[in-house]
Structure 1
Amino acid sequence: MSKYNSSHYQDLTNLDQWLYYLENLHSTEIDLGLSRVGKVAERLAINLNFAKVITVAGTNGKGTTCAFIENALLNSKELASPRGVAVYSSPHIERFNERLRINKQDVEDQALINAFKRIEVAREDISLSYYEYTTLAALLVLMEAMPSFIILEVGLGGRLDATNIIDADIAVITTIDLDHQSFLGNDRESIGFEKAGIMRQEQDIVIGDTNAPKSVINHANELHKNQVNRIFLRDQDFIVQNTQPHWNWKTKQTQLTELKAPHIPRDNVATALMVLEKLNLTLTPDFVNEVIAKTKVAGRTELIKQKGLCDVILDVGHNPQATRYLAGYLKQIKEQANYQNIYAVVAMLGDKDISASLESLKDDIDFWYTGALSVPRAATKETMASKLALFTNSVNCFDNVDEAFRMANKQANSSDLILVFGSFFTVSKIRAQLTIS
């Protein structure tokens, strides 16, 4: 049942009021399932058949994979279209409007409000979660804009995620690891099964995990048992070769050499390239290197150079797989930039594997700063401090993550580096305080 009387929506005049209304509309924050959102989508006649649709699921790497595909399509003269390219993703870092961008422009408030009003009328007595409601709104906006390409980043899981009401042309699985276990299962096989739920028959499937769970491979094979050349698997159908300082990427029909190091994880670039080949985009080293240079994503190993102060890296990583990647990245960048000390500012949600996520970085961080986030699911400062104390004596604990960052920024020298990580909420809080050039 709704917490609010739905007639109240007529008094809502701006986006912030609408978002507050939606936050309090449903009984729970996360409520997986397609029955409710599917019924409302049917009433709204949701249909994206005018576009080529790519759906991207996985534990990590979804946002950067989507961004690389987006930039490649927008910079390709071969596939250039006046209708352009749209990306739907979540969560946002600073503004809700970031969740839907068309031709790199965030959606405007009024377009969202108009969509919300249509949904409010159509849903009648059906209660929708915040995410279901806002996903439907994005789909309505896309139906108005009619871009040529739509890239949908799956939220939580895949099989029961609201984006899965759409039948995509290409399904992408980035990586599978432990996260959201209370919803998806306690092992990679169970989580892989949920992610694989975005797959369809008569659809190309790209799997970027270098060690994909059997549940993913088996589901893909079952769907395509009477078809050939529809499943594209990392290290089998598309291969990455290390040739320091460059790297190569190849398939049966394409070979790219002397590719530059990307700003985002290379594995996600490799997966995106396979998607682009299946979209019949001609790939050359020059073109790919151009896209690599242009693809930077906020909050994903995002380097901020503060004037007169130390550098800051922002990363939304919040699970063990993500922090293992961060550990390798820090070793590389510390050597390249000759940073003296690395300060970590971290705050996480309480339902994450905090211990394993932090432990991945124990050999790379010199000084730890932590505090709480001001969201319901946040881990307390005491919890964060106790987890850190298991492997370090250098724990500085504050009431909130803002204070933790301010003190780290004050105590670090200009030759040091601050890593801010642990959650989208953490990065959002700190990024808003920095000058982004």
Structure 2
Amino acid sequence: MSIKSSESHCDNWSLSQWLCYLETIHNQEIDLGLARISQVAERLNIDLSFAKVITVAGTNGKGTTCAFIENYLLSLQQQVAVYSSPHIERFNERLRINKIDVDDQPWIAALTAVEQARAEISLTYYEFTTLAGLLILQQQQPSYIILEVGLGGRLDATNMIDADIAVVTSVDLDHQAFLGNTREAIGFEKAGIFRSNKPAIVGEPDMPASVAKHGEDIGAELLARGVAFNISKQENCWRWQQISAYSVYDDLQLPHIPLDNVATGLMVLTELNVELNVGRINQVIAQTKVAGRTEVFKGKEEDDFKGDIMLDVAHNPHAAKHLAQTINRLGYSKVHAVVGMLKDKDISVTLAELTTSVDAWYFASLSGPRAASAQEINSLVDELALTGNCFDNVEHAFTMAKNKANADELVLVFGSFFTVAEIRPLLVG
């Protein structure tokens, strides 16, 4: 459909004005459920049947899995869109088509259309912007659409779309207030994106029984790691194998992103029946890097810091464990960690994963109602015997860490998308 707007109270608003408005129109930031958004989607006649749709859920690894699939399809000259959240620097990052972020004007037109259609129905910021993103996709009609689940799966706004392939990258503890306190409960929520008689790919090596049971109950085509596909690691390369079809790709190079997520992406591409070969796989592995995921920058000459800076959005124990493994492998002489986190995260357990990898801690306060102050972080980690300095904001903590670090040392900035968003513009500008 063509997105049009008519006279309304929001005529001539900029995108930033729209986003401020959306923060005020629903009484809860997170309000899971498909009833309200599905009503508005029906009024808008949203239909993505023109494309192959892949929905990707998981505690961690969603963004990197989406990026690898996206890059491989683009290498085949396909038209590919990715919808994801949250963003790091600009809202426009949430929807890209052929690697180009959608500009303000299509977003404004789509948001206007959603506002007109919703009438009396209240929507969260995320639901509202998801509907707008789907309207843009309906207008642009790419061949492939990759939808990254925002939270959980079963009740996430993206799940109103019936995907051709559903993916669960990993299952671990996060967002327990919404998803449950066990891996089994969380696994069930993530498996809610599965569809009957459609591929349901699970990259989690230790799949909860709830995931398999739900797949079986609805008649999904479950393709789990260790059963449908597997990997084997060697010193400087790795192998991917589709077990049922005896397809094997040897001598794959080690990726910048987590290897597990490349392996899951390869299973998705196999189900899409696209051309796969070692040369192209390695080419895409080499080019796939994702902002804020173990992203490394060199210190700038003008500020006299010549060490490395790593940004990572890790905000739960599972992600922190992978981050620690990456840091240990790189072998820096000392690691200075700048940490800013939200108070609804499991802060002490997350930081515990990094206690043997980090030498100096710099706790930073974030802004907003969900933010933990530096002092709160410091008090939560007393039992870990961590000592660190407290700072009013992330930039001050980062500046101090750089001043203390030497050329052969690493300054690590992590703990939240908000934390990375404070520093990344200083490094890419």
Q: Do they fold alike, i.e. is TM over 0.5? A: yes
Residues 89 and 99, structure 1, Cα contact 8 Å, conserved in 2 = yes
2:240 maps to 1:249 = yes
Q: Once the 2 structures are TM-superposed, how far is the Cα of residue 8 of structure 1 from its aligned partner?
A: 7.4
Structure 2 distance, partners of 1:168, 1:348, is: 33
> Could you tell me which residue of structure 1 aligns to residue 410 of structure 2?
417
> Could you tell me which residue of structure 1 aligns to residue 281 of structure 2?
288
Say which of 107, 115, 138 aligns to 2:110. Answer: 115
Residues 306 and 435, structure 1, Cα contact 8 Å, conserved in 2 = no
Q: Once the 2 structures are TM-superposed, how far is the Cα of residue 307 of structure 1 from its aligned partner?
A: 2.4
Q: Once the 2 structures are TM-superposed, how far is the Cα of residue 162 of structure 1 from its aligned partner?
A: 0.4
Q: Once the 2 structures are TM-superposed, how far is the Cα of residue 184 of structure 1 from its aligned partner?
A: 0.5
2:135 maps to 1:140 = yes
* Residue type of the alignment partner of 1:316: V
Instruction: Give structure 1 regions of 4+ aligned residues with deviation exceeding 6 angstroms.
Output: none
CA RMSD of aligned residues (A): 1.3
Q: Cα 1:413–1:8, aligned 2, differ >3 Å: closer, same or farther?
A: farther
- TM-score normalised by L of structure 2: 0.95
Q: Once the 2 structures are TM-superposed, how far is the Cα of residue 11 of structure 1 from its aligned partner?
A: 4.6
Residues 9 and 18, structure 1, Cα contact 8 Å, conserved in 2 = no
Question: What aligned pairs does 1:166-315 form with structure 2 within 5 A after superposition?
Answer: 166-224=161-219, 230-251=221-242, 252-308=245-301, 309=305, 310-315=307-312
User: In the TM superposition, what whole-angstrom CA distance separates every residue of 1:69-127 from its partner, at most 9, and x where no partner exists?
Assistant: 00000002xxx34xx00000000000000000000000010000000110111000100
Structure 1 distance, partners of 2:404, 2:163, is: 50
Residues 350 and 379, structure 1, Cα contact 8 Å, conserved in 2 = yes
* Residue type of the alignment partner of 1:331: N
Q: Once the 2 structures are TM-superposed, how far is the Cα of residue 393 of structure 1 from its aligned partner?
A: 4.6
Structure 1 distance, partners of 2:66, 2:265, is: 7
> Could you tell me which residue of structure 2 aligns to residue 4 of structure 1?
none
* Residue type of the alignment partner of 1:398: F
Q: Once the 2 structures are TM-superposed, how far is the Cα of residue 12 of structure 1 from its aligned partner?
A: 4.8
> Could you tell me which residue of structure 2 aligns to residue 327 of structure 1?
324
Q: Once the 2 structures are TM-superposed, how far is the Cα of residue 340 of structure 1 from its aligned partner?
A: 1.7
> Could you tell me which residue of structure 2 aligns to residue 403 of structure 1?
396
Q: State the secondary structure of the residue aligned to 1:250.
A: strand
Residues 254 and 283, structure 1, Cα contact 8 Å, conserved in 2 = no
User: In the TM superposition, what whole-angstrom CA distance separates every residue of 1:347-399 from its partner, at most 9, and x where no partner exists?
Assistant: 10000000100000000100000111012100121111112333245311111
Gaps of 5+ in 2: 1-6
Gaps of 5+ in 1: 1-6
Q: State the secondary structure of the residue aligned to 2:69.
A: helix
Structure 2 distance, partners of 1:405, 1:376, is: 22
* Residue type of the alignment partner of 1:158: G
Alignment size in residue pairs: 417
Segment of structure 1 superposing worse, 154-163 or 276-285 = 276-285
Structure 2 distance, partners of 1:10, 1:365, is: 49
Structure 2 distance, partners of 1:12, 1:353, is: 42
Segment of structure 1 superposing worse, 305-314 or 91-100 = 305-314
2:53 maps to 1:53 = yes
Structure 1 distance, partners of 2:22, 2:134, is: 17
Q: Cα 1:41–1:381, aligned 2, differ >3 Å: closer, same or farther?
A: same
Structure 2 distance, partners of 1:249, 1:123, is: 46
Say which of 149, 155, 160 aligns to 2:150. Answer: 155
Structure 2 distance, partners of 1:202, 1:23, is: 38
Question: What aligned pairs does 1:18-37 form with structure 2 within 5 A after superposition?
Answer: 18-37=18-37
Q: Once the 2 structures are TM-superposed, how far is the Cα of residue 400 of structure 1 from its aligned partner?
A: 1.5
* Residue type of the alignment partner of 2:162: D
Structure 2 distance, partners of 1:40, 1:11, is: 20
Q: Cα 1:12–1:380, aligned 2, differ >3 Å: closer, same or farther?
A: farther
Q: State the secondary structure of the residue aligned to 2:427.
A: coil
Q: State the secondary structure of the residue aligned to 2:254.
A: coil
Q: Once the 2 structures are TM-superposed, how far is the Cα of residue 243 of structure 1 from its aligned partner?
A: 1.4
Residues 12 and 18, structure 1, Cα contact 8 Å, conserved in 2 = no
Q: Once the 2 structures are TM-superposed, how far is the Cα of residue 9 of structure 1 from its aligned partner?
A: 4.0
Structure 2 distance, partners of 1:63, 1:165, is: 20
